[in-house]
Each structure stands twice: as structure tokens, then as C-alpha cells.
Amino acid sequence: MQRTERMIELLQASKQITDHMERNDQAANQLMELNQLLQHLVAEMNDDHYDEKYLLERIRQAKTIVANMENTAENNYLMETSGDIDKFESLSIEEQAENNDAYHEKIDYLSLKKVNENMDKIMTMIESH
């Protein structure tokens, strides 16, 4: 797989993850901004003449948004699990799902971690080229 195709694939995977997230708190605007940025990056990458410096700046911008959202989701997850994430995660999936708020925060937190990993992979691909 070519480098550009792989970067597009990582961006699309990240967009798919964030498309399934729903936020009703202060992160709602950040989520909307992140979705728009990811969509813009996919469009940029589909142009054979994209500027890697510009792309790197936008990836860094996306990482900043993701980091802020990830921090909020982690704090919410801690709050919803009364500060004991390990205890919550030791429950069966069915038991976790019974606590809808904690489970939702867990999914958002893990999803944002994955998006951040994808952005790191893209940055590495650009910087090592």
C-alpha cells in the first residue's frame, strides 16, 4: 500500500470513529471541529498535490483537539467510575453496559486514544519521508 493511501485510510478510520461519537457537553463543539478537520484532511490527501507542511500543521491541530477531548473523556470516565476504572473494567461487558454513562465515557475515551494513535502514525509517515 502506498504511503498516501495508508494516510488516507488512517484519516478515514479516525473520521469513522468520531462520526459515531455523540457529545452533549463542552466537547460537542470540539467534536464538530475535529470532524470537519478530518473531512478536510481526507479531501486534501485525495489531491495528488497536497502540501506536506500544511498537512503536518493540520494533523498537529487535530492532535490538540483530540488531546483536549481525550482529557475530558478520561476525567468524565474517572468521575463516572468513582475514580476506580480498573474495578469498572473488571466487570463483564454486560455489567459495564448497565452503567450507561460510565460505559459511554469508556468508549469515547478509548476511541479518542485510537484517533490519537492514528494521528501519530500519520505524523511519523510525514516526518520520516
Summarize pLDDT for 96-112 with one digit per residue, the tens.
999 999 999 999 999 99
Distance between CA atoms of residues 48 and 21, nearest Å: 30
Q: Mean of the per-residue pLDDT values for the chain? A: 92
Q: 91 — phi, psi (to 5°)?
A: -75, 160
What pLDDT is recorded for position 49? 75
pLDDT of residue 1: 60
Parse the chain into domains and list their residue ranges. 3-127
The answer, yes or no, to whether residue 26 has pLDDT greater than 70, is: yes
Rounded to two decimals, what is the model's pTM?
A: 0.90
Averaged over 70-96, what is the pLDDT?
Answer: 95
Long-range contacts of 76-82 (CB under 8 A, 24+ apart): 76/25, 76/105, 76/108, 76/109, 77/102, 77/105, 77/106, 77/108, 77/109, 79/105, 80/105
